[in-house]
Structure 1
Amino acid sequence: MPTIGSLPTDHPEAHLAFLSPQVSTPYRDVPVTGLFVLPFARLHEGRPLEPVPAGSVVVLTGAPGPFRGRDLAALDRLLRHMAGHAAVLVFTTSHGSRLTLPHAVRDLADELAIGLMASTAPAHPWPSIHEKIQRGRVVAAERTAAQMTALVKQLPAQLADHQAMQRIVGWLATSLSAQVMVSEPGGVQAASPTSAAEYLAPLVIRQTLTSGTPTPPARDTHTQLFPLGVVRGREPVLAVARDTPFTSQEMQLLRHAAKLLGLVDQAQREYGRVSDATGAARAAVAELLFKSEVAAARRIMSRLTPGLLSPPNARVFVIEADTAKSDQVRERCDRLGADQALVVPDPSLTGRTLIVHPIQPGVDTEDLPAQLVRLVRELGPSVWLGGSSVYAMGLLADARQEAEGALALARHLPDSVALSAQATELIDLLHQPQAYAWACCLLRPLMRETADWEQLRDTLPIALSYPHTEAARRLGLHRNTVTRYLSKASALLRMDLAALTTRTALALALEIVTRREEAGPDRFYATPPSLLSLLSAPEIAAWASSLLAPALQDRRPLILTADAWVTHDAHTEQTAQVLGVSQGTVRSRLRSLEALIGRELTSPAGTRDLLYALHVVNGTDILAPRAPLSCAA
């Protein structure tokens, strides 16, 4: 913003100088909003003077050399008209001439806080100077907006602390042994003790109505009122009352406290306005991102946090909390995000916060997720976190959907965190005591063979997952040995191990049991749980839905192909025949499915997760035909 002191430097063509440089200091920092030219002859016309815009520089042209009585009266009238509005009065003179103003004019200008300057400009540069001032104001306003944006990033937490005013009022009440209240026409902002509002409010109302000093309600009561400043039509007031008079030191303390409270009040309100505007801009950016309008989102964000959205990829996190903790969660997320993430409230659901975390190439990306996990653990129950895997910026709508699916899964997990459904292991979601009881029941015929149990436990997972020759190579055994182990297990279990569903269930049971150091169920189950009952748990349903969601939204028949593939024991040729397509088409669809669900279908774990997710979501049968009634049912 241009000031009186900057005018001579900013506009040298005006040849401006203070008439009294020794008393110019108080005026140098006064802001200037424009320039208003007034011919001196108009002062003698007797017509009412035009209103002077606040902060204007009034340029008086055609002033006479010596000022006579009529001229001095006109100057007196002009200065009083300018009082409280114009910042400075400029007299134009010819080069080399000396302007002499009577002391009465100088004294009146000083009394009215109007600066006096002279110009020896040979031409008339005033219109161009006015335009420059206006342009300068626009530039200053833009710079101020940019500075406010930068300020929002640097503001201390105390500035947004709505309890700050109450703490100051409480401290005053304690220190002065008085009743203290800050109020405005709309109501009480802070009071201490609580009864102070009831006692002091009538005094403030009476002063507002009478525009004078209120009469204390009792003879021995001493009351002081301090305005905190007029802000946008509001007139907050600090009111203090006690039974003994205030000393001069206490009055000085109260005046300083009033200034401080006024600053706190203005700062909080300004912070709120800036924060609301910045929050609205960030919400608009998030909406654009989720609509795949990345270029527009980057343009807007470049003015708020330059470079934040420049990376090509990002992750999305969704954190949700109940009403009691939602504000705390939002504030903590804002601090954690800082300059490394876009944090916005979910407009569709109160208590939910969306976090877009751009992935900078070559930079450790696990810091923010780790902090979010710690936040959830610190705040305890009723706070949940879901996250997506890495997506291109143009696919953040899919990332958000995955994160929301993971959030649904997190609601059923002990630690309330699921950073990605693709990264969540099915075996970790199973009810462990029930799963162990089921596995022991299913494997009981093998576990009874104490001489061979350890050998079977270590061999079968590989033998069930690969062709006999490959399994033998991995185990360092002869192919016939692997075949013998599989035949023995099939005979003991009375199961057809050629069926994918049976091999998968047996492999899952073996993994559950081998996770334990000692055999034996945690508790006795009169009727051991079944695999179907284990997979019917809500957390498994949430996991399966989130895992298959990307594939279900794909226009290609990926789920239909996957269902046929697992139903025909993962044989591509039979799957192709049933679907009436080529084997290459089946393989292409399965590769696409792998990318969408984050599973390798050439691995036993990937096939298992696909099979059981299809069962939960699509009703795919997981019991082998003609399988005997067993714990696998």
Structure 2
Amino acid sequence: MTGRDDGRRHTDVTAPGHTDSTWARELLDHLRPTGRDVARIVDWLGVTVDAAVSLRDGNGTPLAGAPTPLDEGLVTDLATGRLASASWEGDGRHLRMIRVELPPPAAAGVLAVARTAPFDRRTADIVAHTAAALELLLRAQRTAATGHRLARATSDLRLAILQLLMVEDTSAARRVAAGLWPGLLDTDTACVYVVESSPADRDRLAEACIEATREQSLVVRCPAVDAHVIVVTPRDTAGADLRALCHRRHDTFLGGSARQSLAHTAAAYGQAVSALAVARFRPDKTAVYAERTHPERLMDPAALGAWTSRLLRPLDALAHHTRAELLATTRLGLEFTAVSAAKVLGVSRNTVRARMERVENLLGADFSDLAARAAVHLALNTEACLTEACPAGDRRSPAATPARLVDLLTGPALRTWAHDLLARLDADGRDLRGTLRAWIAAGGNAERAAQLLGVHAQTVREHVRGAEPVLERRLLAAGSDLYEVVLAHLVTGALGPPGLHADPRPGPSPGPRPDPPPRPDGHQA
């Protein structure tokens, strides 16, 4: 017999060991966040009413439970909405079917409950309430899935904007951002912050950063480091907001850049990562990139600009887009590993390496040599500063006497800076200075440096790691901090200059300048 079922044809019989509220509490438990599972609810219903239970869509595809033979005509009536529920009795079997709304693309499904005993009032109530609970759960899952897809798309869009900024394509970045975040990048300058927590907590940290900056910043889950969240913000108050966030959260650290041109987001990102390394040792867990005395500020500006122009001149013949792409990739590749740079840029690591190899060939630089990397890094930063200071016109006037890198490193102020920096290492009882010099000469390879020094590679690593807090610079990770230390070695003559196309040598190049004798206080002059 088929037809509509009002659920009131049987007397109310309570099964032994159950009360009217027990099943309701159990069903409610299945709807709690930790227990939301359609298959488990269907299984629970089968045990509770001593029945075979199945859930299927209108096409007969099983969704949960063991498949049950059903009248397909009746299933069609339920799936199309002609019937809300139906029952069938015969051959010693009692069957109840209820229409259940399903997430798209399916319109509706059928919950089928088959048992040998008739459906009393209590059993009918349990079935009806379970069907309603399944509908609520499926609707919640659909809403959650839609929310997850939207959140994922928004996250991907934020990453795409960051990647455009990293390659200095600010116009495209503004166009992409304008649709969802109008006015976000309507700025010439911005700061970059890197917030660090545990990888497991990063999603919550990213949401907290969005809330802390009032959705007026570009917040991106770093594609290269699982524990990092990158924040690009034009707001002056964002730094204070993020510092307050770090103070409230356990094991959360913040590194920030100096304010930079939006086109120099990659350089600002490097500054933020450098500051983050300092923040890990500070009580307040935050640090902003220190405006310390950088070596390029102690060089003759005209000579430095002319040398930079000559070094990068082979790139000028390239199309503007290609040149900018190569420079942006090389800048990131010198700051981080090829793998990390690839993740940040959204390209393969082979693409990063190919672009950097092309720059190597054009500039005549060997990037396995840390001195060459430091020299090219110096040129890229100098050009970025020149571009910002003079964005239009020809800003690279050739000097009357071409300067070489060794000429740039001879100024008295620069020599004082270099000697004072490296002299910090002399206070340690270990030979940190000698180990660091050998490690740099070996291209940052601990094994090769160990062979030169006749020590174990682990000793080299420990000495380099021990030099980091003394110099207040990251050394084991490539980047600006390391290249400053390399330049200091070039200035003191502890290392010879790298071979570059821009450094013609008309005569014999000067030999390494020995370090001056120590002062009475133990420091170098």
- Same topology, TM > 0.5: no
Structure with bigger RCO (C-alpha 8 Å, 6+ apart): 2
- Structure having the higher Rg: 1
How does the TM-score come out when normalised to structure 2? 0.44
